[in-house]
Amino acid sequence: MQTRTLGKSGLEVSALGLGCMTMSGGYSVSPDRREMVALIRSAAERGVTFFDTAQVYGPFTNEELVGEALAPVRDQVVIATKFGFEFGPHGENRGVNSRPEHIKQMVVGSLKRLRVEAIDLYYQHRVDPDVPIEEVAGAVKDLIQQGKVKHFGMSEAAAQTIRRAHAVQPVTAIQSEYSLWWRRPEEEVLATCAELGIGFVPYSPLGKGFLTGKIDETTTFDSGDLRSRIPRFTPEARKANQTLVDLLGSIAQRKHATPAQIALGWLLAQKPWIVPIPGTTKLHRLEENIGAATVELSNDDLRDIENAAAQITIQGERYPEELERRTNL
């Protein structure tokens, strides 16, 4: 697979990474662990070198999964994880906590679970409004100097917050939601990344599965599926938003590709320092996603997508209100 460099950092990764969150549940009951270990290893065998996890996924079990799966190829891959939440004695999420002493305490567990001596890319998962971002960046800078972390990242941060953090410790990558159906990063964040030399990592690049064309208004989600609580996934919103999937489908037919590959190809075409991290629990979907790296969209193709997308108004918020409050701080 082709590689890309995340901004000016020199951190080279595969053009498409693998988001591992759903391998520990989130969209459905937790998949079989042995199958997920095999899937992660299959991704590495197919040229994926960039793997994404977080302390909060599970919590902790996803880091353990990724650590086990990648131990045999540790020197060939880049592992990203995230800090910034506090957990109770039974793993319950108590909310954001990016106090420097907490960051330094939590990194110890991540290193052990991931089976690494240093974390390649350590993201603040969500901005903590109670802790100045300069203190967070300073704590990660200390961890970098101690050799426990190699690169600093931020997730769902606003442009001004990114600038303040970057002044203390250079930020290697910003991870935020970005796709044809969520384009807020285009307002300020992408320009900030370009100016400062920061890479951008879109999560949910396939709209939590919607842009694959495999979900419609008749699809049902079980109560444990995050999408059952998301306004954008109500049957009414899915029916209204089908127009966007139809657009991807028509272009895919023309390019002998799939809607998912067009959606990922569109992201790859935006900037050479953008690296999407689609997630999956199925080998055939992994192979489909990897295939997006070879889809070539011409300037005419991209113009057609832009013109058509501009005529479509996406219905529904991307998160329930309590989750959206944690973003863009």
Residues annotated catalytic, as ranges: 57
Greatest alpha-carbon pair distance for the chain in Å reads 55
**Is 203 in a helix, a strand, or coil?**
strand
Fill in the amino acid letter for 228: S
Burial classification of residue 108, based on how many CB atoms lie within 10 Å of its CB (0-12 exposed, 13-18 middle, 19 or more buried): exposed
Query: Do the strands 149-155 and 18-19 form a parallel or antiparallel pair, or are they unpaired?
Result: unpaired
Distances in whole angstroms, Cα of residue 60 to Cα of each of 143, 154, 156: 20, 19, 21
DSSP 8-class letter at 32 = P
Query: Do the strands 199-203 and 18-19 form a parallel or antiparallel pair, or are they unpaired?
Result: unpaired
Instruction: State the Cα–Cα distance between residues 203 and 276, nearest whole angstrom.
Output: 6
Q: Is the dihedral of CA 72, 74, 80, 82 positive or negative?
A: positive
**Is 16 in a helix, a strand, or coil?**
coil
